[in-house]
Amino acid sequence: KIFVTRELPGSALTRLQQSHQVSIWPHRTPPTPAELLDNVAGCHGLLTLLSDRIDERVMEAAGSGLQVISNYAVGYNNIDLAAAGRRGIRVGNTPDVLTDATADLAVTLLLAAARRVKEASDEVRSGQWQTWEPAGLLGRELRGKTLGVVGIGRIGTAFAQRMVGGWNMKLLYTSRSPQAEVDEKLGGRRVELDELLRESDFVSVHVALCEETRHLIDAAALANMKPSAILVNTARGEIIDQEALVQALREEVIFAAALDVTTPEPLPPSHPLVGLPNALVLPHIGSATDTARHEMAEIAVDNVLAGMSGQALRCEVPLA
Ligand code: 8YV
């Protein structure tokens, strides 16, 4: 018995249905915590999304037959890994296939913020476009500027390749360990976060969310950035102290922010970030290309099938 918390694109789920009893949550919105508890009872496999919080209570409700939790995402901050480890439940994710899509979106956000695309488009929509102004909507150029990549993993590296290759940018990055290939091929320099924030014209966040990275970009970090700087986030909303960011954007401590991830998600339209001219907010569409989402579905299904037959997953999250 497998519970899938949302319909997925493509035909991957039919592979599950051929050999298992599958129930798919039929709604567009995620199950509430209570609905999740009801639906997981007696399940041997779960296929989940980031919006499903899979904690010990959910695992308990599933019962001792639960063998695998397959997350339809590269990130897995919605799953209590320690609890899964204690119960011998395998956890899977969908890395690599969404790297290009997410890196492309980070580039899109950076360019859109640099060229004030949201403000420009709003001018047209609201009828404020009345004349061509020599000093209207002036943005920022990219060529030769300094790029700061906070966390140079798969997506951070793909993003840096695009920016360094496309605009000949100087690359600073943070990382737990030195990255010889990034240094060699992209001319990168590993620095402390303080230096990265101080020196960069564009800062893009690519770290995973964990206790260490929650509010990594807080008021002090924002104050450390250049007033002309642009902040991009395609990782997780909680990495930025969002209240501090609203304040910093209002007071023009930085030039702009472009965010694919927020706290909470969905962000209510009344949230101050939505109304700020120098904030661009997208509804978490980093991996939203047909290719990425179809391939994610295939991996997520492979992970469930492997876990149900007691084998190592195609993409397994280490639990130790
Ligand atoms: C997910 C994401 O696809 O993969 C991740 O970690 O953040 C997104 O790409 C999306 O949130 C669906 O779970």
Tens-place pLDDT, residues 258-272: 999 999 999 999 999
Span from the CA of 63 to the centroid of ligand 1 (angstroms)? 27
Q: Is the CB of 72 under 6 A from ligand 1?
A: yes
Same fold yes or no, 2-97+290-308 and 99-281: yes
* Mutational test site, ligand 1, from 46, 91, 98, max ligand atoms within 8 Å of CB: 98
Tell me how far apart the alpha carbons of residues 206 and 287 are, in angstroms, rounded to a whole number.
Answer: 14
If you ran DSSP here, which 8-state letter would residue 152 be given? -
- Return the SS3 of 277: coil
pLDDT of residue 206: 98
* CA–centroid distance, residue 128 to ligand 1 (Å): 37
Distance CA 196, CA 173 (A): 7
How many percent of the chain have pLDDT more than 90?
100
Q: Ligand 1: which atom is nearest the Cα of residue 72?
A: 13
Q: How confident is the model at residue 237 (pLDDT cuts 50, 70, 90)?
A: very high
Q: What's the chain's average pLDDT?
A: 97
95 vs 79: CA distance, rounded Å: 16
Q: Where are the domains of the chain?
A: 2-97+290-308, 99-281
- Give the pLDDT score at 87: 97
- Give CATH for domain 2-97+290-308: 3.40.50.720
In this model, does residue 320 exceed pLDDT 90? no
- Binned at pLDDT 50, 70 and 90, residue 171 comes out as very high
Distance in angstroms (rounded) separating the CA atoms of residues 261 and 240: 10
Sheet holding 90-92, edge to edge: 22-24, 2-4, 45-48, 68-71, 90-92
pLDDT confidence of residue 103 = 99
Q: Is 90 exceeded by the pLDDT of residue 115? A: yes
Q: Is the CB of 287 under 6 A from ligand 1?
A: yes
With a cut of 90, say whether residue 247 has pLDDT above it: yes
pLDDT at 8 over 90: yes
Q: Would you give the DSSP letter of residue 187? A: -
pLDDT of residue 32: 97
Tell me which of 70, 74, 262 to substitute to probe ligand 1's pocket, judged by most ligand atoms within 8 Å of the beta carbon. Answer: 74
Give, using CA atoms, the residue closest to atom 11 of ligand 1: 50
286 lines ligand 1 (CB under 6 A): yes
Q: For residue 12, how far is its CA from the centre of ligand 1 (angstroms)? A: 17
Query: In the prediction, which pLDDT does 228 show?
Result: 98
pLDDT per residue over 179-225, tens digit each?
Answer: 999 999 999 999 999 999 999 999 999 999 999 999 999 999 999 99
Query: Can you list the positions of beta strands (E) in the chain?
Result: 2-4, 22-24, 45-48, 68-71, 90-92, 146-150, 170-174, 189-190, 202-205, 230-233, 256-259, 279-281
* Domain 99-281 = CATH 3.40.50.720: yes
Q: What is the pTM of this model?
A: 0.97
In degrees and rounded to multiples of 5, residue 33 shows phi and psi of: -55, -40
Does ligand 1 come within 6 angstroms of the Cβ of 284?
yes
According to the model, what pLDDT value does residue 26 have?
Answer: 96
Q: Residue range 298-305: average pLDDT?
A: 98
Mutation choice for ligand 1 from 210, 284, 293, CB with most ligand atoms inside 8 A: 284
Residue with tokens 């150029």: 141
Does ligand 1 lie within 6 Å of residue 98's CB atom? yes
Atom of ligand 1 nearest to the CA of 236: 7
| C-alpha–C-alpha distance, residues 99 and 105, integer Å | 10
Residue from 317, 195, 220, 206 nearest 260 by CA: 206
User: What single string gives the DSSP state of each residue in 8-23?
Assistant: -SSSHHHHHHHHS-EE
Report pLDDT digits (tens) over 13-69: 999 999 999 999 999 999 999 999 999 999 999 999 999 999 999 999 999 999 999
Which residue's CA is the nearest one to ligand 1's atom 10? 73
